[in-house]
Amino acid sequence: MKKLAILAFAMVVCAAVSAYAGEVKENWAKQCAKCHGEDGKGQAAMGKKLGVKDYTDAKVQEKLKDEEMAKAIKEGVKDGDGKTKMKGFGDVLSDDEIKALVKHIRAFKS
């Protein structure tokens, strides 16, 4: 009986992790990929136009702080003139979803 309970718990955890991973990828595809690309390289047409960073570049990743990325995702990014470069997603993504996207971005590092 104890083994069955452990097996059931493990299956629930695996299902939750799988759903969580799918949700992150879905959020990336829906909110981020049009500029940052599915692969995080920033080579999408809009990404090239805006000059977004290549998240697969270890040097770029090294300069990025998790808190700064989370703030940018939540509140958006403006250029030096105050013009919006990236809209914020705090109104459509929870703090946990934003944290998950930061982890997702970290996974692009080569």
Digitized pLDDT (tens) for each residue of the chain, 110 residues in all: 665 545 444 444 444 443 344 699 999 999 999 999 999 999 999 999 999 999 999 999 999 999 999 999 999 999 889 999 999 999 999 999 999 999 999 999 87
Tokens of 68: 């700064």
Residue 32 DSSP SS3: helix
**Distances 39 to 42, 54, 95, 110 between C-alpha atoms, Å:** 8, 9, 23, 11
Q: What's the pLDDT at 55?
A: 96
Which CATH code is given to the segment(s) 2-106? 1.10.760
pTM: predicted TM-score of the whole model, two decimal places = 0.77
